[in-house]
A and B are shown apart, each in its own frame.
Chain A
Amino acid sequence: MRGFRSGSGILADLNPMTAFSMTQPESSTERRSEEVPLPGPNVLRGWLRDMMLIREFEVRSMQAYQNRLAGGFLHVYNGQEAVAVGSIATLRPDDPIITAYRNHGHALARGMAPRVGMAELFGRIGGCAKGKGGSMHFFDAEHHMYGGHGIVGSQVPLGAGLAFATKYRDEVMDGGQSNHVTLCFMGDGATNQGAVHEAMNLASVLDLPVIFIVENNFYSMGTAIKRGTAAGGCLTDRACGYDMDATVIEGMDVLDVYRGMKPLVDHCRTSSRPSFVEMRCYRFKGHSMSDPRKYRTHEEEEQWEMRDPIELLAAHLVDQDQLTGEAFKQFGKEIREEIREAVKWAEASPPTPMDELYRDVYTDKWGLYTGTSVPEFLKRRSSDREDDNA
């Protein structure tokens, strides 16, 4: 299967007002056919919880930002939860992922403890990068989450490199066959960065097991896709140029995301070929906290909010008798409590001490620099697990 050509009708969906109701493109329909079995109800309820957890984390991080507990830039993931949760659900735990600066959702979906993420926002020693990365730079070695990258598109060559490394280890060092998959996320704006195109070409030429996932939320900051991206209604065309399979997936429905991604991930694992996915989704909030969203209409926002990924999955589960209204409410209660605890924990975590200023610049000691160490949450890895299981 190859990407779609311009003029196939998808161009009409350049307009975010209509894109969400688009009929599924042919090949995508194939991919999400009922042949792809869904996991059992426990797992689906787990996804619902994960998405609710991300949403609540973001709600509380916005509050914290307004209360000046968090500084810098804050880019929240509300609305796009299904993309991270549904696609990461198709991976093995040791498959690497990497993403851009709107990265809280990916980290949480990968298993980062919310308190560790929250402490990072607060600039505390307990944070996932000891308070030295901030909102845009979440890292989690334990969960194979390679960041959180602030420069648009910068993570995409790195993602190709992660895939290169897994393949190199599997084949050259272990003498076997490539059997890992890297998911490399980016926004639609990144598709206009040169580094992204270089990375896609390299991935194709070097047969790298990486899936480039464009989270197309139709706006690159405040620039609508039609204003900044030629043939923006057909981003998959860009992958065609690099001889890789390309698929459009409806990114608001986690079941669609999973069904679309599962065959791609499985194929990537065995074929060691890159592919490209356009996930059509919408960010419910602004680009960052300072964004008044004047470049789009209320009506458009409301239409997309009707496709809230949490509501969609909850409705599906209720419809299938796999969730009661009571249980849904209970989830909400538990998650609010969990995030409240995370905020409390983060507030109690000490501000990153001054000696950290000079640590991790180099691995070795030299002059002012004091060598490296790892964040607390990794040091306490085993006790964390016990907590999580409790």
Chain B
Amino acid sequence: MRELAFRDALREAMSEEMRRDERVFLIGEEVAQYNGAYKVSKGMLEEFGARRVIDTPVSESGFAGLSIGAAMMGLRPIVEFMSWSFSLVAADPILNNAAKMLYMSGGQFGCPIVFRGNDGAGGQLGSTHSWCVESLYANVPGLKIIIPSTPYTAKGLLTQAIRDDNPVFCLENERMLALTGEVPEESYTLPIGKAELIRSGNDCTIVSFGRPLYFCLEAAEELAREGIECEIIDGRSITPLDIDTIAASVCRTNYCVVVDQSWSFASVGSEVAAEVHRVCFDDLDNYVYRVHSDDVPAPYAKGLEQEMLPNARKICEAVRSVTYNA
């Protein structure tokens, strides 16, 4: 199968959906003439024209709200946040309007919209540009959150997100955009709310969301040399959470480590851990360990930033600790 970069897989999903459905359009800062700040939308202006690939001024609250208004009327906007860090200034429209419109209008006005952009640290951008928003936003009913980790999942999940009738947040990561992988040429979808088994192993389940998958794979190799075989599950979606797939694995391995790049308190990781404790209570041989970014603002210095992230070393330590009694 042909290989495609993560950013090209995202673009392919958007372009295919725009060819298929006239209601779909792309809007955001620098998405058109500049070809996207991270070149995700390269060439799309040329193909679809300025009416469907729309450059905005730096007004996240304004263009997020505008797109939600358009979605209320049945269009299907794809809104690019250059970074999810910048979505914080659009908190009111994305959390109050997108997430609640269907409910507050008693089912009259839905919000079929996708917000997408870079999430997470890793490029030495300092604290304000290194937000992991998943734990903040997962707390809000009415949203779906996808977090692809490979070019294949990026195309399939984003295609599904664009077709979804609900607001979907797609969390990408700048560090992964150049990553290549096999991607089918034809259009396909991956279900939102379905996790995927990435690596089989009998000793410990590791659940990961997004980019930390690669830290998990790195850790699994090291642990395998020590004789610990890890089973890795890529969550793919945060809400809905596929607890069934996670639990099926944990009930077999009896140990679980959750890796989540956001901060630990009231987080995706703590939610998954709580769910695993609830569902797999009788099958667990130890409590669920969690690996997060350290509870500090993201630092600039490279060494500090790498240390803050849920890196392979921390994952190895967690797996060794959780399985000590195996």
Contacts and interface: CB of A to CB of B under 8 A. Distances in A.
Interface of A: 96, 98, 127-133, 137, 139-141, 146-147, 149, 151, 154, 156-166, 168-169, 171-173, 194-195, 198-199, 201-202, 205-206, 359-364, 366-367, 372-375, 378
Given A154-B65, A195-B92, A165 B97 contact: no
Given A173-B22, A198-B62, A96 B51 contact: no
A366 B240 contact: yes
A166 B74 CA distance: 10
A169 B52 CA distance: 11
Contact of A202 (B63, B73, B108): B63
Contacts of A137: 104-105
Contact of B106 (A96, A133, A165, A198): A133
Nearest to A173: B22
Contact of B104 (A141, A147, A199, A206): A147
Given A161-B66, A165-B70, A199-B65, A363 B57 contact: no
A137 B141 CA distance: 18
Contacts of B265: none
A158 B105 contact: no
Contacts of A98: 69
Given A139-B108, A378-B108, A195 B69 contact: no
Contacts, number: 163
Contacts of B193: 366
A80 B205 CA distance: 63
A286 to B, nearest CB: 25
Contacts of A132: 103-104, 106
Contacts of A158: 65-66, 68-69, 72, 93, 97
Interface in B149-173: 165-166
A253 to B, nearest CB: 31
B103 A161 contact: no
A169 B25 CA distance: 12
5 tightest Cβ-Cβ pairs between the two chains A and B = A161-B69, A157-B65, A198-B62, A129-B106, A158-B69
Size category of the binding interface on chain B: 35 or more
A172 B52 contact: yes
Contacts of A128: 106
B102 interface: yes
Given A158-B72, A165-B74, A129 B65 contact: no
A195 B70 contact: no
Contacts of A375: 106-108
Contact of B72 (A162, A373, A378): A162
Which of B67, B75, B104 has the most chain A CB within a 10 Å cutoff? B104
A158 B73 CA distance: 10
A200 to B, nearest CB: 9
A266 B63 CA distance: 26
